Amino acid sequence: MITSTEIKFIKSLSQKKFRDEYGVFVVEGEKMVQEALNSGFEVEKVYRKEDIGEAAMARISALSSPSPVLAVVKQHSRPFKAPCQGLYLALDGIRDPGNLGTILRIADWFGIDAVYASEDTVELYNPKVVQSTMGAIFRVPFYTADIPLLCSSYKGKVYGTFLDGENMYKKDLEASGIIVIGNEANGISEETAACVTDRLYIPPYPADDPGSESLNAAVATAVTVAEFRRRG
Amino acid sequence: MITSTEIKFIKSLSQKKFRDEYGVFVVEGEKMVQEALNSGFEVEKVYRKEDIGEAAMARISALSSPSPVLAVVKQHSRPFKAPCQGLYLALDGIRDPGNLGTILRIADWFGIDAVYASEDTVELYNPKVVQSTMGAIFRVPFYTADIPLLCSSYKGKVYGTFLDGENMYKKDLEASGIIVIGNEANGISEETAACVTDRLYIPPYPADDPGSESLNAAVATAVTVAEFRRRG
């Protein structure tokens, strides 16, 4: 059973202001809900199609084909942990929900120790972000941070990709460091760029003809992180 | 000026059946329209906000913030060219428009010679595909093909990524071949998998703990293609 108040409440969670107010978010799908239940996140309530009916499920689901199960999960804020020994991502204004979700999934696959995101990065609990993490949201430590401050106070290397950077394959890459990922349209901000110690470039093929002007932010993240892990 | 018939016509192009019927598609944004004009594609008409007015632009635009310029472009079918010497992608059922667009952008950056897509791959002229190619649609040769047939009749190597494949970094990779990209949910189909000569795996980090069960299809494409091109 589900009450009309609950339906209204769950529907309201598609808006950031209500997610903020109640400190919860929505997770959909068998696999995602299972991962939520097995994670350190607190699951407030699980709704299954067989219990609440198909019509109610269609009303509370944000997906075009409603999933068989949906959960309301408490937002989880970890005590802030500054980067030290490890490989980290710093997101400097990622705006596309699909990109943020995909970056968390990449971070999970390649064992990134934590992801730090600027205030102007899209909200972690946006339903599109949550679903595109494919569960990585429950595993990858994620913090909001002042990225220029984080990078400038970091003792190790700060890497970033730039169109005028050096061929990544020919550079020494340390196993520990922060990799900065820039905004989809504008790249790494000037303030953050000033803290980057090693400017990298993903060489196109052939080397003098990229065709496209750039790679998608999540794609550039993947190729860069894969290269770090390939060495290590 | 723009007539109400034109507005209706352009709006109809958000649907595949009308794109098919008229053999055209819509491109938005200054950069994309410029690339269309500089490409081998035939641009039927360009609409600029300063000519038609903001209200009309908002009506014909598919974007949430209407771009200043929109073009209606003729679909462009190249005479089919089978893969020979070169590096190719074969898409075995890519369903997400953003993924297809991103894959074309990757293909463009890394100089892929042609992209072949199965019939059940999302339509190339879907507005979300077009916009996420960031112009690569005008540069990368794209063909619809029977992927199992294409792969089985190909004389060279056929690569594919599988969760039980071999560590990509330890494999010989030839500069010429077809790389098969599987469907987002189900991976490479059985029929296509039977034609794959070299099964690859993108190692997670640490090697025995991927965290996520898989990478996004476009991300896996990027990491794999980058590795081929890295070898030269």
Q: What is the pLDDT of residues A207-229, one digit of tens each?
A: 877 677 789 999 999 999 999 99
Tens-place pLDDT, residues B23-66 = 999 999 999 999 999 999 999 999 999 999 999 999 999 988 89
In this prediction the pTM is 0.95
Residue among A91, A60, A72 at smallest CA distance from A19:
A72
CB of A172 closer than 8 Å to CB of A111: no
Alpha-carbon span B194 to B24, nearest angstrom:
36
Kindly list the residues of chain A whose beta carbon comes within 8 Å of any beta carbon in chain B: 98, 102, 105-106, 108-111, 132, 134-136, 139-140, 169, 202-206, 209-216, 218-219, 222-223, 226-227, 229-230, 232
For a pLDDT cut of 70, what percent of chain A falls above it?
A: 100
**How crowded is residue A176: how many other Cβ atoms within 10 Å of its Cβ?**
16
Q: Which of B105, B109, B110, B229 to mutate to test the interface with A (most CBs of A within 10 A)?
A: B109
Q: Kindly report the average pLDDT of chain B as a whole number.
A: 95
How many angstroms separate the CA of residue A173 from the nearest CA in chain B? 16
Residues 6+ apart with CB under 8 A from B26: B10, B13, B14, B62, B70, B71, B72, B73, B127, B130
Q: How far apart are CA A229 and CA A179, in angstroms?
A: 12
Put simply, the answer to whether A109 touches B211 (Cβ < 8 Å) is yes
Q: To the nearest whole number, what is the mean pLDDT of chain A?
A: 95
Q: Which residues, in sequence order, are bridge partners of residue B199?
A: B160
CA A106/CA A126 separation, integer angstroms? 18
Taking an 8 Å cut-off on Cβ atoms, the answer to whether A216 and B135 are in contact is: no
Provide the token pair at B100.
Answer: 């297809």
The residue of chain B nearest to residue A98, with distances taken between CA atoms, is: B98
Calpha distance B153→B116 (Å, rounded):
14
For the CA atoms of chain B, what is the radius of gyration?
19
For residue A180, what are its two tokens? 């900065």
Q: Which residue of A has its CA nearest to B136?
A: A212
Question: In percent, how much of chain B has pLDDT > 70?
Answer: 100
**Chain B positions in Cβ-Cβ contact with residue A102 (cut-off 8 Å):** 216, 218-219
Domains of chain B: 4-74 (3.30.1330.30), 87-231 (3.40.1280.10)
* Alpha carbons A168 and A207: distance in angstroms, whole number: 12
Tell me the C-alpha distance between B43 and B95, whole Å: 27
Cross-chain residue pair A105–B212, CB shorter than 8 Å: yes
| Chain B residues inside the 8 Å CB shell of A226 | 202, 223, 226-227
Residue A88's CB: how many other CB atoms inside 10 A? 26
A218–B215 CB contact, under 8 Å: no
* Shortest distance, CA A202 to any CA of chain B (angstroms): 9
Identify each DSSP E strand in chain B by its residue range: 24-28, 43-48, 69-74, 87-92, 114-117, 142-144, 158-167, 177-182, 198-201
| Partners of B201 in beta bridges | B167
Q: Do B109 and A205 touch (CB under 8 A)?
A: yes
Residue-wise pLDDT tens digits, A120-168: 999 999 999 999 999 999 999 999 999 999 999 999 999 999 989 999 9
